[in-house]
Chain A
Amino acid sequence: MRGPAVAIGLPFLLFCGLIAAGFLMPGWLRFITLIALAKGLVVLSLMLLMRAGLVSFGQGLYYGLGAYAAGLGVNLLKVTEALALLALGVAVAGAVAWVLGFLLTRYREIFFAMLSLAFSMILYGLLVKSSALGSTDGFNLPTPTFLGFAFAGTAARHALFVLTASVAFAAALLLHRYLGSTRGYLGEAIRENEIRVEYLGASVRGALHVKYVLSAALAGAGGALTAVATGHIDPDLAYWTTSGEFVFVAILSGTGSVAAPFLGSFVFEMIRTYAFAYSPNTWQMVVGATMLLVIIFMPGGLWSLFRRRPRLVTRS
């Protein structure tokens, strides 16, 4: 039995190491890590749903909503504070998920996947046709301020990295606590057998609704951070291929731990970056082939590499 000091201490050390590494990394690597952390939040949101047996093929909906909420927050509402933009993205995604949740929590398996895909494509269709939002080109947004400080150049990029890493760390830690709670474990129970959960007196739809809103909020945060980090948003954020990519990264990561999505996301971004650098015309092929190989040879995802084998003899 590990003590609470280790359980909190080790992740915190990792977090400090990540922040320190952020200052030492070359610019391109820091940017990839930053994007991986932001997208990792979306993958984390998928993991939360997967634990309850639901796979969303439309998480791009909340990714896109979070990004557009942040973008419009800067350009329309003239909000420049990064944390406020993040909150805006989370709030918009959460609110939409709360409404859609009433419908979506009635669906399971492939129907849940398809209906969430339909909703993300509705958002995509709206964004593509709205010329006020730049239609397929999207629009740019300026560098925001951080807690009131207006950084410029490299300082702004460092600030952005610290912000994203902190949000990712906080989200992972909170979600870890949530998954270890009774309400969190309800997800696995629902995945195994819904009817028995109902017999035990818990509301399946209520529990799924909460998880769905939480997951949308996480994806919205990922979208808002991506928008702020890249300074550009376009409708492709909500396209089905984006959502499909998230599901792939979730499978690549495995659902073993809240750290897995960030690891998987980083590995995926690296694969993509190198594939794009070395064979710009066939990078999709590399990604697709990796996808097949991972699914065939690593069914438990990357995280299964870290899982210790159960010990036969326990020492007291």
Chain B
Amino acid sequence: MLTLVAILVDGVIYSSWLFIVSAGLTLIFGVMKILNIAHGGLYALGAYTAVSAIGSYFAGGYPPLASYALLLLVAVVVGLVFGLLIERGVLRLMYGRDEIVIVLVTYGVFLIIEDAIKVIWGASPYYASQPYGLLGRVQISGLAFSVYDLGLIALASVTGALLWWGLNRTRNGKLLLAVIHDREISAAMGVDVRRVFTVTFVIGAMLGALGGAFTAPTTSVVPSIGVELIVLAFAVVVIGGLGSIEGAAIGALVVGISRASSVHLLPEAELFVIYGVMSLVLAFRPQGLFRRVVARKI
């Protein structure tokens, strides 16, 4: 029973974090049909920037509780700056090229970001645990959980709800859905597809940086965090169905719970379980759990 509670809570915490990051990845794929490996780099940039910002914030002796707003601000700024830089500077030159070629382009950008991080911050680990320790712990049926971690669940829920509301209840969101559904027809109907691309990429980049910024206090920030994250996020969005936000939520839950079960019951199989589940889902649902069937061209 105790293990079950631990698995569930740990799993949901892990899923929330995965969802925040994967939502950005899946949004970008849905609209632009780009599988963005550079997302891992944006995540790492978010984490490193957060570490530096938190470090100097607490050194300055400002009110500690406002540090959460600082994390949000970091995510927005990093997403805006680097999202624009990558979309306007690199991806814009590539539209119309083969999907796989664009994947490689984002891989190139990812490698560049990785090394830029090593040049700026060096290879040694960074810690910024002040926001994490600030909130203390609570007991859930006899087990202690960090309030910060539980706060991540709230953050993920709010992010998900905002995304859903933005996509389904606003005019711009509906334009975005139209572009997801059919890029050419939308352009023909007068939607400025290029602008939609830029906005989508920046929002996606912000979500990646948001995931990074809020992970930074919970762990040691090392150069490999981006590489490890991106394949996990791939698993999440592929399980859920590329391009579907609901899918990313379900995919994050599937990956989160299965990883937590494996960590508590069979630690050796941790990585194996995640990709095992992904292969299993794809074997039965080739397009993932939530993807509309695309007509074949003849």
Which of the 9-residue segments B128-136, B202-210, B268-276 touches chain A? B268-276
Asked if residues B111 and A118 are in contact (CB atoms below 8 Å), the reply is no
Asked if residues B118 and A281 are in contact (CB atoms below 8 Å), the reply is yes
Residues of B within 8 A of A109 (CB): 99-100
Contact of B271 (CB < 8 Å), options: A107, A110, A128: A128
Contact of A240 (CB < 8 Å), options: B104, B231, B268, B279: B231
Asked if residues B298 and A282 are in contact (CB atoms below 8 Å), the reply is no
Asked if residues B234 and A114 are in contact (CB atoms below 8 Å), the reply is yes
Asked if residues A103 and B278 are in contact (CB atoms below 8 Å), the reply is no
Which of the 9-residue segments A25-33, A34-42, A143-151, A286-294 touches chain B? A286-294
Residue of A nearest to B232 (CB): A121
Asked if residues B114 and A244 are in contact (CB atoms below 8 Å), the reply is no
Asked if residues B90 and A118 are in contact (CB atoms below 8 Å), the reply is no
Residue of B nearest to A285 (CB): B115
Report A298 CB to chain B, min CB distance, Å. 12
Residues of B within 8 A of A115 (CB): 238, 279, 282
Report B31 CB to chain A, min CB distance, Å. 15
Contact of B112 (CB < 8 Å), options: A121, A241, A285: A285
Interface bits B100-132 vs A (CB < 8 Å: 1, else 0): 110111011111101110110000000000000
Asked if residues B275 and A295 are in contact (CB atoms below 8 Å), the reply is no
Q: Is A55 an interface residue (CB 8 A)?
A: yes
Q: Is B66 an interface residue (CB 8 A)?
A: no
Residues of B within 8 A of A295 (CB): 94, 97, 101, 104-105, 108
Asked if residues B286 and A122 are in contact (CB atoms below 8 Å), the reply is no
Asked if residues A292 and B108 are in contact (CB atoms below 8 Å), the reply is yes
Q: How far apart are the CA atoms of A110 and B274 in the complex, in Å? A: 19
Asked if residues A288 and B109 are in contact (CB atoms below 8 Å), the reply is yes
Given contacts A110-B35, A125-B275, contact A281 B119 (CB under 8 A): yes
Asked if residues A121 and B108 are in contact (CB atoms below 8 Å), the reply is no
Report A64 CB to chain B, min CB distance, Å. 14
Q: Is B295 an interface residue (CB 8 A)?
A: no
Q: Is A177 an interface residue (CB 8 A)?
A: no
Q: State how many residues of chain B have any CB contact under 8 Å with chain A.
A: 45
B73-109 residues with Cβ-Cβ distance < 8 A to A are: 90, 93-94, 97, 99-101, 103-105, 107-109
Residue of A nearest to B278 (CB): A118
Q: How far apart are the CA atoms of A240 and B272 in the complex, in Å? A: 14
Given contacts A247-B100, A288-B111, contact A117 B283 (CB under 8 A): no
Q: Is B193 an interface residue (CB 8 A)?
A: no
Report B280 CB to chain A, min CB distance, Å. 10
Asked if residues B100 and A118 are in contact (CB atoms below 8 Å), the reply is no
Residues of A within 8 A of B42 (CB): none
Q: How far apart are the CA atoms of A291 and B108 in the complex, in Å? A: 6
Interface centre among A117, A118, A244 (most CB of B within 10 A): A118
Interface bits A93-130 vs B (CB < 8 Å: 1, else 0): 00000000001001101110111011101101110110
Residues of B within 8 A of A281 (CB): 115, 118-119
Interface residues, chain A, with chain B CB atoms under 8 Å away? 55, 57, 103, 106-107, 109-111, 113-115, 117-119, 121-122, 124-126, 128-129, 193, 195, 240-241, 244, 247-248, 251, 281-285, 287-292, 295-296, 299
22 contacts across the A-B interface (CB closer than 8 A): A111-B286, A114-B234, A115-B238, A117-B234, A119-B275, A122-B275, A122-B276, A124-B271, A125-B271, A125-B272, A125-B275, A129-B269, A240-B231, A248-B104, A248-B107, A251-B101, A282-B119, A283-B115, A289-B112, A291-B108, A295-B101, A295-B104
Q: 6 shortest A-B CB distances, which residue pairs? A: A125-B271, A288-B111, A291-B108, A285-B115, A125-B272, A288-B108
